[in-house]
């Protein structure tokens, strides 16, 4: 009995990105946990990010964009929404908001007494964008503080990335953070000259995790430490800055119109004198001609750089940098050349959605934990009249900054059409502008009453006034 087998050809289909060749020989082919490269390279990345923040104009612009768009000129504001008998308690909410604003003074919220709540927000987001993370220590029962809670910002460099120790079967320290079996932080080890804990010849201060807010934006699974937001753009920013410096130097040298004297006999050129460093110099004045010694020839040195493609090359590189920083090229480079209404509106919408994501992350990671600790202390000290039962998450609302539009007339017309069609509420439009709808409605009613008292008329929606007057 004969058996015939058909020869199967090897499958030639494959992922192009997985192809192994001379062109891809330097491309990584194995994976590793994100903790390993962070352990080795976090200090380098942070040092380079800090250097660029000081010396690179585009890095400074990016950090300012983060402060301006995530925090804004008024900060992320708290709005109380406590209810009594299923109705908003206006008096209590106003009292709570005023107490929070009072606590936001530098003498109360900052343990050093130097930074207000707004200034702390701006410094925190700038530090996170630059360093990748920031440590906020909660200090309860601060002396001279009627609200009890003060904050201390701690440099993340003090959280030693090189401290990696197994303590016992249930605890270990990873990059300065003590973790339990489930990977939940239980303490933070900060470098200290007088620390009570010693590891590898270094002194550390062990601070329980419930006293620390470790704010960083995780981008990888099981990521324990934050990476600078400029990480992917740092190399290009540094190289572009060097390229620009060289181009500026070449342009300056070219503008000087320098040259050399060449003699076929090799005789030295005496020049017209020496400078302070002992170098021979020859002076030149407009409209004058000088006769050179016999056999001496003048050879001009006139570099023609930068060339015409300099601007285009700079724009191309800056677009890549802007993509790495997750901002628009026009915002980063201050370049509005050739921009029309449609293109800038489309770019702004996408960029503002990114800012909104970061705003919500900052609220969840920083603002909400601080508020919850603040409310606990207010219950203990009874400095603010709080009800026995309330939900810190649902009974309080954070209002981040919002932006005006390029053409506000068109936007208002579109919003009005949405309201007329019933697809959007007036309250939603007001919140999108960065205001509290309840405050706006009450202001409208107050304005209406004042205008009517002096015999003037003012346009106020009848539905708004009737609803809130009742």
pLDDT digits (tens, 9 = 90+) for 344-370: 777 778 888 899 999 999 999 999 999
Which pLDDT score is estimated for 89?
Answer: 85
Residue 21, CB-side half-sphere exposure with 13 Å CA sphere: 5
Report yes or no on 72 lying in a domain. yes
Regarding whether 178 and 315 lie in a shared domain, the answer is: no
| Structure tokens given for 266 | 């090799």
Report yes or no on 103 lying in a domain. yes
- Predicted confidence band at 173 (pLDDT cuts at 50, 70, 90)? very high
Does the pLDDT at position 443 exceed 80?
A: no
Which pLDDT score is estimated for 193?
Answer: 77
The distance of Cα 409 from the centroid of its chain, to the nearest Å, equals 31
Which pLDDT score is estimated for 215?
Answer: 96
Regarding whether 146 and 64 lie in a shared domain, the answer is: yes
Number of structural domains (the chain) is 2
Which pLDDT score is estimated for 120?
Answer: 97
- Look over the chain and give the mean of its residue pLDDT values, rounded to a whole number: 83
Regarding whether 318 and 210 lie in a shared domain, the answer is: no
pLDDT digits (tens, 9 = 90+) for 46-83: 999 999 999 999 999 999 999 999 999 999 999 988 88
Report yes or no on 330 lying in a domain. no
Q: State the Cα–Cα distance between residues 22 and 327, nearest whole angstrom.
A: 35
More confident residue, 49 or 449: 49
Which pLDDT score is estimated for 274?
Answer: 62
Q: Is the peptide bond before 306 cis (omega within 30 degrees of 0)?
A: yes
Q: State the Cα–Cα distance between residues 245 and 297, nearest whole angstrom.
A: 32
Does the pLDDT at position 23 exceed 70?
A: yes
Which pLDDT score is estimated for 61?
Answer: 95
Report yes or no on 424 lying in a domain. no
Cβ contact 178:242 at 8 Å: no
At residue 259's C-alpha, the angle toward residues 256 and 264, to 5°, is: 175
Does the pLDDT at position 462 exceed 70?
A: no
Does the pLDDT at position 317 exceed 80?
A: yes
Query: Given 228, 261, 281, which residue is the final one in a domain?
Result: 228
Report yes or no on 76 lying in a domain. yes
Query: Given 207, 228, 249, which residue is the final one in a domain?
Result: 228
Q: List phi, psi (to 5°) of 95.
A: -65, -40
Regarding whether 151 and 177 lie in a shared domain, the answer is: yes
Q: How many CB atoms lie within 10 A of CB 78?
A: 19
pLDDT digits (tens, 9 = 90+) for 235-287: 999 999 998 888 887 777 766 655 655 566 655 555 566 666 665 555 556 55
Does the pLDDT at position 433 exceed 90?
A: no
Does the pLDDT at position 106 exceed 70?
A: yes
- Predicted confidence band at 98 (pLDDT cuts at 50, 70, 90)? very high
Does the pLDDT at position 321 exceed 60?
A: yes
Report yes or no on 339 lying in a domain. no
Regarding whether 250 and 176 lie in a shared domain, the answer is: no
- Model pTM score: 0.80
Regarding whether 218 and 126 lie in a shared domain, the answer is: yes
Which pLDDT score is estimated for 305?
Answer: 65
More confident residue, 13 or 118: 118
Regarding whether 246 and 209 lie in a shared domain, the answer is: no
Which pLDDT score is estimated for 403?
Answer: 83
Regarding whether 299 and 201 lie in a shared domain, the answer is: no
Query: Given 280, 309, 325, which residue is the final one in a domain?
Result: 325
Q: State the Cα–Cα distance between residues 429 and 416, nearest whole angstrom.
A: 10
All residues at 6 or more sequence positions from 254 whose CB lies less than 8 Å from its CB, including other chains: 302, 303, 304, 305
Which pLDDT score is estimated for 71?
Answer: 96
Cβ contact 139:111 at 8 Å: yes
Cβ contact 298:260 at 8 Å: yes
Which pLDDT score is estimated for 263?
Answer: 63
- Predicted confidence band at 292 (pLDDT cuts at 50, 70, 90)? low
Report yes or no on 157 lying in a domain. yes
Which pLDDT score is estimated for 280?
Answer: 55
State the residue range of the domain holding 320. 233-270+291-325
Which pLDDT score is estimated for 277?
Answer: 63
Share of the chain above pLDDT 70, in %: 80
- Predicted confidence band at 128 (pLDDT cuts at 50, 70, 90)? very high
Regarding whether 165 and 215 lie in a shared domain, the answer is: yes
Regarding whether 213 and 247 lie in a shared domain, the answer is: no
Report yes or no on 120 lying in a domain. yes
Which pLDDT score is estimated for 126?
Answer: 97
> Any long-range contacts for 264-271 (C-beta under 8 Å, 24+ apart)?
264/295, 264/297, 265/295, 267/293, 267/295, 267/296, 269/296
More confident residue, 397 or 195: 397
Regarding whether 167 and 84 lie in a shared domain, the answer is: yes
Q: State the Cα–Cα distance between residues 108 and 148, nearest whole angstrom.
A: 8
Regarding whether 240 and 152 lie in a shared domain, the answer is: no
Q: State the Cα–Cα distance between residues 375 and 100, nearest whole angstrom.
A: 10
pLDDT digits (tens, 9 = 90+) for 129-139: 999 999 999 99
Spell out the SS3 assignment of the chain. Answer: CCCCCCCCCCCCCCCHHHCCCHHHCCCCCCCCCCHHHHHHHHHHHHHHHHHHHHHCHHHHHHHHHHHHHHHCCCCCEEEECCEECCEECHHHHHHHHHHHHHHCCHHHHECCCCCCHHHHHHHHHHHHHHHCEEEEEEECCCCCCCCCCEEEEECHHHECCCCCEECCCCCEEECCEEECCCCCEEEEEEECCCCCEEECCEEEEEEEHHHEEEEECCCCCCCCCCCCCCHHHHHHHHHHHHHHHHHHHHHHHHHHCEEEEECCCCCCCCCCEECCCCCEECCCCCCCCCCCCCCCEEEEECCCCCCCCHHHHHHHHHHHHHHHHCCCHHHHHCCCCCCCHHHHHHHHHHHHHHHHHHHHHHHHHHHHHHHHHHHHHHHHHCCCCCCCCCCCCCCEEEECCCCCCCCHHHHHHHHHHHHHHCCCCHHHHHHHCCCCHHHHHHHHHHHHHHHHHCCCCCCCCHHHHHHHHC
């Amino acid at each position: 009995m004969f058996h015939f087998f058909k020869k199967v050809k090897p499958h030639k289909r494959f992922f192009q990105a997985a192809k192994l060749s001379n062109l891809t020989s330097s491309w990584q082919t194995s994976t590793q946990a994100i903790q390993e490269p962070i352990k080795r390279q976090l200090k380098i990345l942070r040092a380079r990010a800090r250097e660029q923040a000081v010396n690179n104009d585009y890095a400074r612009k990016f950090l300012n964009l983060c402060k301006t768009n995530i925090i804004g000129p008024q900060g992320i504001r708290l709005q109380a929404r406590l209810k009594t008998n299923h109705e908003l308690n206006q008096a209590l909410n106003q009292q709570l908001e005023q107490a929070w604003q009072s606590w936001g003074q530098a003498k109360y919220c900052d343990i050093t007494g130097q930074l207000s709540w707004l200034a702390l927000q701006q410094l925190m987001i700038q530090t996170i964008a630059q360093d990748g993370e920031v440590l906020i220590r909660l200090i309860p029962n601060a002396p001279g503080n009627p609200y009890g809670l003060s904050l201390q910002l701690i440099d993340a460099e003090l959280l030693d990335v090189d401290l990696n120790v197994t303590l016992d079967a249930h605890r270990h320290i990873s990059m300065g953070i003590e973790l339990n079996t489930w990977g939940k932080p239980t303490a933070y080890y900060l470098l200290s000259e007088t620390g009570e804990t010693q590891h590898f010849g270094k002194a550390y201060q062990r601070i329980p995790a419930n006293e620390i807010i470790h704010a960083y934006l995780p981008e990888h699974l099981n990521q324990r430490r934050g990476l600078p937001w400029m990480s992917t753009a740092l190399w290009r920013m540094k190289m572009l800055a060097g390229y620009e410096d060289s181009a500026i130097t070449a342009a300056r040298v070219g503008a000087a119109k320098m040259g050399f004297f060449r003699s076929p006999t090799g005789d030295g050129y005496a020049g017209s004198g020496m400078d302070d460093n002992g170098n021979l110099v020859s002076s030149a004045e407009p409209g004058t001609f000088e006769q050179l010694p016999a056999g001496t020839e003048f050879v001009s040195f006139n570099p023609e750089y930068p060339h015409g493609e300099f601007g285009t090359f700079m724009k191309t590189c800056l677009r890549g940098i802007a993509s790495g920083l997750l901002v628009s090229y026009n915002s980063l480079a201050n370049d509005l050349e050739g921009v029309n209404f449609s293109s800038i509106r489309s770019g702004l919408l996408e960029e503002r959605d990114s800012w909104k994501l970061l705003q919500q992350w900052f609220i969840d990671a920083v603002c909400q934990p601080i508020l919850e600790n603040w409310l606990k202390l207010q219950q203990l000290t009874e400095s603010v009249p709080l009800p026995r039962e309330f939900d810190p998450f649902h009974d309080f609302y954070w209002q981040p900054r919002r932006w005006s539009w390029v053409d506000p007339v068109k936007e208002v017309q579109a919003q009005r059409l949405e309201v007329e069609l019933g697809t959007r509420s007036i309250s939603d439009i007001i919140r999108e502008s960065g205001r509290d709808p309840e405050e706006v409605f009450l202001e409208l009613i107050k304005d209406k009453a004042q205008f009517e008292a002096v015999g003037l008329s003012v346009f106020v929606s009848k539905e708004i006034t009737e609803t809130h007057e009742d």
